[in-house]
Structure 1
């Protein structure tokens, strides 16, 4: 009988031991959700793992483009959205109806690399100016082939092939597209309009996500596209050198982004959508000899009033990401936030309220 009682006691105790996480003080992780920009996704996944270890909080992030991030945040199906394009007046009005004012928090900065796959010039450096790049995406007849005179003149000594240029762009609403098209708009005199989903001309091939564009370029000779720098490096894609506003040839790298940001944050922007928000800046076609011209900021977008159950956890994560979390930026080909901007971010997050 004593053995039976001992066995019974063990059976009844099993659920307790199974549910208490080993009874060593373990507890299930808190969980918050975000989604949007693919631009920031590699860094967000790194942050998620590091933050889970440090704070026992899980960050569920769905990478589906900036448009998705704004839509899901507005609908309150995600705790925060990520976008590389600040919200427009129309988007702000829709969000205000759902939950009031919104806050834009810079998370990181990065370069949009112009990637290409031209086997005939493998190992050679390709140079492009903004006006030539814009006309390639406008499918201008003067730059339909890789050996077009306008491209050849920029690349003396490079044996460019007599082959058609296959032009690739993002298919969905994308902050990367917004950064890229904003640059093309500036250097083309407005021939192209800055947008998360530009009205590309016929013949431009659409692909989903930074990874989709990178994969298509890698797998198809004769192609040109644009991706966040990490996707270019990860896929071992060649990236063009660009002539910046100061007339210098620069490569896509974190230092060039930092230089562009240093110029851009000197004054508050006067043009929409940047003028509609605190802490949003256009980094494209920035002044400065070292500035990389297709640079941008990825933002976390959230309501200024958050639920008291999850709000403090969301804010604490964003405070961590924009301070301690910045140490992971450069190793992943992003540019850390400037110290001056970091201080303003902490002040802004301190103004978020919970109800």
Structure 2
């Protein structure tokens, strides 16, 4: 019989859940490929998970980092096993397209610059100045608004080259969400969207890799992207002033602090954004990233293979999440995610796999 102490261990429960759905591959000979598409910010996680998953199961994961908007379109059409987005979709959209969204991990958006003699986490900006730069109102690096925040720095007399996303992006959505919270003019003019009608003269690139390369290769540039790309491309991150008035650089601890000051940790709900949370150690532009599945799949084998990958990654991927500068989900949020997974059905209304409780005893011996 099942040891009740084991049931109190969240990881054991997940393992039993995985077994009960028949989602652990028996051997490499039966391995089948997995497809996914969407968020470029989350691509480092999926790449790491895919490498480990292939080693463990023999199944390859083909993840296409086309951006959150394109990923949502693919999963709406059930043209891929899972979609990935950095925006929790509106409930009306989930209902209209018969989808459910599960959180995967937490990260942060980092403004990055390319300026002579400016090191990472040296330049200071606040939300108001950052928003005005991205509205095209502040256009030189030695502008009085920037020098006032950096009195000990000698800033160059260079034009600001603003680098932005050209494609629909969850990173853009969360960045805009933050700017709207710190500047009412931004909120009224641009709102919170995955695609922004940027001012003329901005340099637009596709994907997080495109933005990273655009800033790296453009003197005087500023852009925004996921924290995981900063070290990979050798970029200079910006210090930001948070909701408590504290200047700090982006960090795993700052993302974790934002998470701890949210309803994600308090209740297990994960629908709200994580920007501009209170707390002295909070990074102000924190965001979650999500995986999306159809509630009723017309391609049950495709969906089942994707579920195998995601659930296996939840069980085994905590270390890989942290190695890629993301924050793992709280156990309460993971539990909410697994509860949602049990609702996925095939087109005949049958759950994907056996019921959970019917096989717990047989696998717990």
TM-score scaled by structure 2?
Answer: 0.82
Aligned mate of 2:275, from 267, 278, 284: 284
Contact 1:167 1:224 in 2 (8 A): yes
2:132 to 125, 132, 135: 135
1:105 equivalenced with 2:102 (yes/no): yes
Q: Distance in 2 between matches of 1:79 and 1:331?
A: 25
Partner of 2:31: 29
2:5: which partner in 1? none
Q: How does 1:49-198 map to 2 (within 5 A)?
A: 49-88=51-90, 91-92=93-94, 94-95=96-97, 101-122=98-119, 125-140=122-137, 143-189=138-184, 190-191=187-188, 192-198=190-196
Structure with higher Rg: it is: 1
User: How far did 1:339 drift?
Assistant: 2.1
CA contact (8 A) 2:178 2:284 kept: yes
> What displacement does 1:343 show?
1.8
Deviation at 1:295, TM superposition (A): 1.0
Equivalence for 1:258: 256
Q: CA deviation at 1:50?
A: 0.7
Larger RCO, structures 1/2 (Cα 8 Å, 6+ apart): 2
Contact 2:76 2:99 in 1 (8 A): no
Hey, what does 2:203 align to over in structure 1?
Answer: 205
* Distance in 2 between residues matched to 1:310 and 1:224, nearest whole Å: 40
C-alpha distance in structure 2 between counterparts of 1:26 and 1:51, whole Å: 11
Select 1:233's aligned residue among 227, 231, 234. Answer: 231
- TM-aligned CA deviation for residue 225 of structure 1: 0.2
Q: Which residue of 2 aligns with 1:312?
A: 304
Report the 3-state secondary structure (helix = DSSP H, G, I; strand = E; otherwise coil) of the residue aligned with 1:168: strand
Contact 1:260 1:288 in 2 (8 A): yes
Distance of aligned partners of 1:284 and 1:103 in 2 relative to their CA distance in 1, 3 Å threshold = same
Where does structure 2 lack aligned partners over 5 or more consecutive residues?
1-26, 348-365
C-alpha change, 1:308 and 1:162, in structure 2 (3 Å) is: closer
The answer (yes or no) to whether the contact 1:146–1:161 under 8 Å persists in 2 is yes
Rounded Cα–Cα distance in structure 1 between residues aligned with 2:99 and 2:264: 24
Q: For the Cα contact (< 8 Å) 1:311–1:354, is it kept in 2?
A: no
Aligned length, in residue pairs: 317
The 2-side partners of 1:347 and 1:172 are apart by 33
Question: What 5-or-longer segments of structure 1 have no aligned partner?
Answer: 1-24, 96-100, 270-277
The residue aligned with 1:333 is 325
Q: TM-score, normalised by structure 1?
A: 0.84
